[in-house]
Amino acid sequence: MTPFGEKLRDLRAERGISQKDMAKAIGVSAAYLSALEHGRRGQPTWDKLQRIIQYFNIIWDDAEELQRLAMISHPRVVIDTAGLPPAATELANLLAARIADLDEATTGLLIRKLESVPEKRKR
């Protein structure tokens, strides 16, 4: 499951809405919505994301947070380490190989640590 998928499922559950009903209302299949929630689909298109935001009548900070979650929720990530030091490539490969072995506490610790590192270059 992705952060976006988890939030989407929570929003539906809070409002007592079925996947089938929501899917019909936003013009997608229930299978697509299920795959999005479970992380078997990548980020929704901008158009689909806007339909979801409108469907839940989400505004301001909550809409921005849902957009942020969508941006960080691609289930198959590619890390380009070309031009970076060898240690960066080692880190990317080690994380790819061991991410399934990390418990929630360790994952949270790594996320907080990486979020605290200031950006040095534009992406």
Per-residue pLDDT at 123 exceeds 70: no
**Which fold would CATH assign to domain 3-71?**
434 Repressor (Amino-terminal Domain) (1.10.260)
CA distance from start to end of the chain? 25
Over the stretch 65-85, which tens digit does the pLDDT of each residue have? 999 999 988 878 889 999 999
pLDDT at 72: 86
Q: Which amino acid is at 40?
A: R
How many Cα atoms occupy the beta-carbon half-sphere of 51 within 13 Å? 13
CATH 1.10.260.40 residue spans of the chain = 3-71
pLDDT at 107: 95
